[in-house]
Chains A and B, each alone.
Chain A
Amino acid sequence: MNSVITNQPFVMSDPAKPVTESVPVHPTAPAPSPSPAAATPVPQQEIAFDIQDLSIFYGSHQAVKNVTMHIPSGSVTSIIGPSGCGKSTALRALNRMHELTPGARHTGKILMKGQDLYGPGVDATVVRRRVGMVFQKSNPFPTLTIAENVLVGLRLNGVRDKTFLNKRLEESLRMAALWDEVKDHLNRPGTGLSGGQQQRLCIARALAVRPEILLMDEPCSALDPIATAKVEELIHALKSQYTVVIVTHNMQQAARVSEKTAFFYMGKLIEYGPTEQIFMNPKDPQTEAYVSGRFG
């Protein structure tokens, strides 16, 4: 009786983890798939955003209602919910972009790594250098080349050192998984790239100023599946150095990329927990209805 199977000793894929401890159903256990690119993991206690009783109003309309949540550092947190549920509004409050809409005001507090984002004397421009943003529709500046697009945030903030700029250019394009595709034509216009490449260019542009946190507002909704997959891979790779908060109307994307998921409905935070729990065993019946596609 010849057999391909030999009598192996009891060895798991990861020798450090015995079988019992890697059963992933347990809601509080960390996800068992570590990123191969990760350096030392960020301690999970560190909080990127401490959102306290946040409400946002546009004139008399209340778009976000009394949201309280902690967003952890060094991981990807996603916000899901039907259209008009306030998720994009809440996201924009995290880098004070909602202020650009006339008539917008808020109550409640947002602390970023302990500092009040809206405190007296806090300059919104400085906040936005620490908390970057990528938008739904890619928007590279049309009059600038690829290289100029990536470096615009640095240059317009006074950085002149050419060596430093070139180094940052390459690093940012590599982080956005775009370097190999554009390294030979950095002087072509930014708008000459495909949709997926343009979005990655915008990500490189946002990363070039080295924010601590990256906000993404439905970054893949205008992209085809392959471009989407590339962006998701790069989000996964960013986890080791950045905190990412992503708003998406594609639930499956939230399930694929994030560690924690928040479900918003009609401006309220309905449920917030580990992604596995939200999708496998949600506590709130509204959450269950939404993720099962039985909403509306």
Chain B
Amino acid sequence: MSVLAVVCALLVVLPLILVLFYLLKMGVSSLNWNFFTKLPEPAGVDGGGMANAIVGTLELMGLALVMGVPIGLLGGIYLSEYGSEKTNTWIRFGADVLNGVPSIVWGLIGFTLVVAPMGGYSAFAGGLVLACIMVPLVLRTTEEVLVLVPTSYREAGMALGIPRWKITFNIVLRTAAKGIVTGVLLALGRIAGETAPLLFTALGTTLWNTSLKDPIAALPLQIYNYAISPYPDQNRQAWAGALVLILMVFLLSASVRIVSSRRKK
């Protein structure tokens, strides 16, 4: 029986190892100082880097965080602390539906509702769409974590004559903080690699982004463009970009583990 378990475990881990290996093999040779600091060169010209894409991805994640997390957080708090059974069921249903929306649909929504009225592709639109993807994730994980906080803490707070909202924010939220941070990091990890929505909102660029109203480069977009390009140098850079993206996600997952394992005893 245990042999079977070991075999299954290996089967699961094996593809991951193979992928990482292949990425490393294909991409590591293109990882150099230029890659991380230079802007892309025009088509056909060798050299250049993905500096703006890396920064752009970080910028978009930041925007998504700022716009998506508060809504998800407050929604999760409402579901756990204040909601009634009936409304909660509907809200959860809505969140689950949103979770299931294909990311390209989000892109189209972003295009129709933000890009078109604004008259152009923008970092703001990209960030907003990513935020929309994050909200149901953060909402559900926040709710789950808050519900796990024992009722006795809330009761103890109420018995001290502390107002309800202070109990929620100073005691319950604080107790669940680790779980909430984990949920946010996981959501970030998810959106880091989203390509389709950015196609219609952020568009991508070969320049540095200077304003939220302007298009912005992002790693997934750049990888896509370079992967289908006929120039081998750009293909190689695509591999490097994929490697960097995977490393980013890997870092996020690692920090999730660090945060959740640090037990304050």
Contact = CB atoms under 8 A, between A and B. Distances in A.
A156 B156 contact: no
Interface residues of B, number: 21
B160 A152 contact: yes
A139 B156 contact: yes
A125 B162 contact: yes
Contact of A206 (B160, B163, B174): B160
A205 interface: yes
B262 interface: no
Q: Give the secondary structure class of B's interface.
A: helix
B159 A206 contact: yes
Nearest to B150: A139
B155 interface: yes
B155 A209 contact: no
A126 B174 contact: no
Given A141-B156, A143-B177, A189-B264, A157 B162 contact: yes
A133 B177 CA distance: 26
Contact of A143 (B150, B158, B166, B264): B264
Interface of B: 150, 152-153, 155-163, 166-167, 170-171, 174-175, 177, 264-265
Given A100-B155, A127-B161, A135-B155, 19 more contacts: A125-B163, A128-B160, A129-B161, A135-B159, A137-B152, A139-B152, A139-B153, A141-B156, A141-B171, A141-B175, A142-B153, A143-B175, A152-B157, A153-B162, A156-B160, A157-B161, A157-B162, A189-B265, A202-B156
27 contacts: A95-B159, A97-B155, A97-B159, A100-B158, A125-B161, A127-B161, A128-B158, A128-B161, A132-B159, A133-B159, A135-B152, A139-B152, A139-B153, A141-B156, A141-B175, A142-B153, A142-B175, A142-B264, A152-B162, A153-B160, A153-B162, A156-B157, A156-B160, A156-B170, A189-B264, A189-B265, A209-B160
